[in-house]
């Protein structure tokens, strides 16, 4: 989830229109033009090899963005990249470990050479350790903070200069409901890290608004993943989790991706510093 592997595959020009979009246009002949929500934009997504990150990459590509996919597992990054390309989108992988400043420096230098711009950064990579504070080894605490906080900090630090040069950009940080409230099923280390992301987001939003750079965070509740499905094999645990959600279901990766798409798009042009829950109403209590 931390980084990715450099790809030697040819990339689609940032302004090229995807085959999927052309098929959509052919199926809708009465529409004179098809304006995709992220057309001609370049987006870097960390933790893009699976789950939420992969869904964001696919959703962005379907709306015209060239997506740069990062994941610590090179095979995972390449599989998502190949899937995006099969759908007619533009994608490539970028060598990146989000905890390494040297990797961020190299990654942004590569983007500057290859794409010449960065319009969107999605800081999605994250980890957790399911250990209570009383038993948490400090090396595990530091590992969570390195990915969830330092990784986001470094991403913003190195993306800002290129965004400023291009006249603006959008940063979307994937936090959690645990960045807004305490949660009885979640350990304190993860909550600490996601709370840091929430306030980092607001600080960047305020300080760089004058550069036309927006920064927002998304706060999902429990997301329906294979790991959660394993947890839900226990009927009591499943009932507990669903009972706390007013809408009565878990979030999906697509729910989160749709929120990220909105915040990254020009439709959210007057929205910055927002902490957007995608939680089925859980934090509305």
DSSP 70-118: --SSHHHHHHHHHHHHHTT-EEEE--EETT-HHHHHHHHHHHHHHTS--
Alpha carbons 240 and 243: distance in angstroms, whole number = 5
Count Cβ neighbours within 10 Å for each residue of 12-44 and write b for 16 or more, e otherwise.
bebebbbebbeeeeeeeeeeeeeebbbbebbbb
**Surface-to-core class of residue 210, CB atoms within 10 Å of its CB (0-12 exposed, 13-18 middle, 19+ buried):** exposed
Alpha carbons 109 and 116: distance in angstroms, whole number = 9
Which one from 185, 190, 208, 285 is the annotated catalytic residue?
Answer: 190
Residue 190 among the catalytic residues? yes
Alpha carbons 85 and 266: distance in angstroms, whole number = 24
- How is residue 210 annotated by DSSP? G
- Which tokens sit at 183? 């949660």
184: left (phi over 0), alpha (psi -120 to 50) or beta: alpha
Alpha carbons 254 and 54: distance in angstroms, whole number = 10
CB atoms within 10 A of CB 237: 13
Residue with tokens 């052309």: 22
Strand order in the sheet with 120-123: 90-93, 66-69, 42-45, 120-123, 169-174, 213-220, 275-278
Task: Write out the catalytic residue numbers.
Answer: 190
């Amino acid at each position: 989830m931390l980084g990715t592997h450099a790809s030697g595959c040819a990339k689609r020009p940032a302004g090229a229109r995807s085959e999927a979009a052309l098929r959509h246009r052919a199926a809708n002949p009465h529409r004179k033009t098809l304006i995709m929500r992220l057309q001609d934009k370049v987006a870097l997504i960390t933790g893009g090899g699976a789950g939420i990150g992969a869904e964001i990459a696919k959703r962005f590509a379907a709306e015209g963005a060239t997506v740069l996919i990062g994941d610590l597992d090179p095979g995972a990054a390449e599989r998502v990249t190949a899937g995006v390309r099969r759908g007619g989108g533009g994608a490539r992988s970028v060598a990146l470990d989000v905890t390494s400043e040297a990797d961020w420096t190299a990654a942004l230098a590569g983007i500057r050479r290859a794409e010449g711009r960065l319009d969107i950064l999605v800081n999605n990579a994250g980890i957790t350790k399911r250990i209570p504070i009383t038993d948490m080894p400090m090396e595990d605490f530091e590992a969570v903070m390195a990915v969830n906080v330092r990784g986001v900090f470094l991403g913003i630090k190195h993306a800002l200069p290129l965004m400023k040069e291009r006249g603006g950009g959008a940063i979307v940080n994937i936090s959690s409901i645990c960045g807004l409230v305490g949660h009885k099923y979640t350990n304190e280390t993860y909550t600490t890290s996601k709370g840091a992301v929430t306030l980092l987001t607001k600080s960047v939003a305020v300080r760089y608004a004058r550069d036309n750079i927006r920064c927002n965070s998304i706060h999902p509740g429990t997301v329906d993943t294979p790991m959660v499905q394993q947890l839900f094999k226990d009927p009591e645990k499943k009932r507990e989790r669903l009972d706390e959600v007013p809408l009565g279901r878990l979030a999906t990766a697509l729910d989160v991706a749709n929120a990220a798409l909105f915040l990254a798009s020009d439709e959210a042009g007057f929205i910055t510093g927002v902490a957007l829950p995608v939680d089925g109403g859980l934090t509305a209590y």
